[in-house]
Amino acid sequence: MQLKNDLLLRAALGQPTERTPVWLMRQAGRILPEYRAVRERLSGFKELVETPELAAEVTIQPVDLLDVDAAIIFSDILVVPEAMGCTYEMIEKRGPIFPKTVKTAADVASMRIADPHEHLGYVLDAIKVTKRELNGRVPLIGFAGAPWTIFAYMVEGSGSKTFSHARKMLYEDPELSHTLLQKITATTIAYLQAQVEAGADLIQIFDSWAGILPPAHYKEFSYRYISEICKALPNIPVTIFAKGAFFAMADFAQLDCQVIGLDWNMNVQETRQIIGDNKTLQGNLDPCALYNDFAGVERETKKMLDAFGGDRHIANLGHGVYPDTDPEKVKCFIQTVKEYSQR
Ligand SMILES: Cc1c2[nH]c(c1CCC(=O)O)Cc1[nH]c(c(CCC(=O)O)c1C)Cc1[nH]c(c(CCC(=O)O)c1C)Cc1[nH]c(c(C)c1CCC(=O)O)C2
């Protein structure tokens, strides 16, 4: 199926574009009243994630309502640990909890390398339904968590400011840590390849907890597995978004990937220098900039666009949009990118 709007893919591959493409991390979600209406009819978050027709509906909402240049499949990075045998619960207003965590060698041994068709078929079905319903309007982004971020949740058992249990395991038992990371990596590679077969047009890897590791640990326990994943996806554009990993950018320049995501702490010019001209950069407006009045949103968005300078840029926030953001401000951000970046 020929895409009617392929700006995202051309920008990812470094081909010329008429303007800068724009989408938002977490665009499908609580900022939209239409999302909350679907969600309220259901038993919870998981029912939405696990019902392909509903997941497709909320995936497409931001395309209809916000006019973004890409859809991202509505799911969660935590479906991967669940497929491996570590189930999660999503607690309203608190976040994810894992009733059973991974602590011992026996726990690690009990985790399976999941077959995506057997254990994550609902995501693959959601991708197929979404592709059919999008009918080529915009590309569909597939995603997964980076192995380190998934490891952090499996060992910690919930979100955390420090993930100190997970980080402790890297010091106490590096070998066992690698065994678990290898299983997560194998599952993730098969899962992402299956997403591509199901119709995903670009893949994004979220390393949300990159920034809490010391650089040497990051290289040993996160970067090498991200690098393996990139090598396993040779025929599709890949974006690596590693929050807080400014110290790893020289390594990221060497990855077999097309796009690097920047959070709002990162200096755009410095990062461009380190990454070089062979990759596209994505980001990086502070999500809090959308709490400005409309004139402020426009001003901050233009400043951000000026910093990237147009070429090889995909406009986005520096992390997911905050749930209490006014959707009209999100639209203002999107329209400003579209008008101001016209070439
Ligand atoms: C760390 C992480 C998670 N999930 C994800 C990450 C990586 C990105 C990041 O760093 O933010 C990824 C994710 N989660 C969700 C998406 C949907 C697609 C999109 O970007 O629009 C994506 C890409 C839906 C979701 N995932 C979650 C929601 C909110 C739950 C709800 O709607 O009831 C949504 C829309 C829940 C979730 N899921 C997770 C947490 C910590 C939470 C609770 C915090 C929160 O509520 O925002 C884990």
Residue given tokens 């077999």 in the structure block = 256
296 lines ligand 1 (CB under 6 A): no
| 180 within 8 A of 110, measured Cβ to Cβ | no
Topology of the domain comprising 7-340: TIM Barrel (3.20.20)
In tens, the pLDDT along 76-101 reads 999 999 999 999 999 988 999 999 99
77 lines ligand 1 (CB under 6 A): yes
Average pLDDT over residues 132-149: 98
Residue 169 — very low, low, confident or very high, per pLDDT cuts 50/70/90?
very high
The residue annotated as part of the active site, out of 19, 30, 112, 299, is 30
Can you tell me the distance from the alpha carbon of 264 to that of 319, in angstroms, rounded to the nearest whole number? 8
Binding residues: 26-30, 76, 153, 208, 319
Model pTM above 0.80 = yes
Query: 69: which 2 tokens?
Result: 């240049």
- The residue whose C-alpha atom lies closest to atom 17 belonging to ligand 1 is 74
Say if residue 246's pLDDT is above 90: yes
Which of the residue ranges 91-100, 107-116, 246-255, 259-268 would you say has the lowest mean pLDDT? Answer: 91-100
Amino acid identity, position 9: L
Measured CA to CA in angstroms, residue 38 lies from 30, 51, 59, 110, 145 at distances of 10, 12, 12, 36, 25
Percent of the chain topping pLDDT 90: 98
- 111 membership: H or E segment, kind and range: none
Say if residue 1's pLDDT is above 80: no
Query: 136: which 2 tokens?
Result: 């080529």
95 CA to centre of ligand 1 in angstroms = 9
**What is the complex's ipTM, to 2 decimals?**
0.92
Say if residue 244's pLDDT is above 90: yes
Would residue 67 show up in a list of annotated catalytic residues for this protein? no
211 lines ligand 1 (CB under 6 A): no
In tens, the pLDDT along 38-76 reads 999 999 999 999 999 999 999 999 999 999 999 999 999
Q: How many residues does the chain have?
A: 343
- Rounded to the nearest integer, the mean pLDDT of the chain is 97
Can you tell me the distance from the alpha carbon of 322 to that of 325, in angstroms, rounded to the nearest whole number? 6
In tens, the pLDDT along 182-224 reads 999 999 999 999 999 999 999 999 999 999 999 999 999 999 9
| 269 within 8 A of 304, measured Cβ to Cβ | no
pLDDT at 132: 98
322 lines ligand 1 (CB under 6 A): no
Query: Residue 223 carries which DSSP code?
Result: I
Binding residues for substrate: 26-30, 76, 153, 208, 319
pLDDT at 93: 85
Say if residue 102's pLDDT is above 80: yes
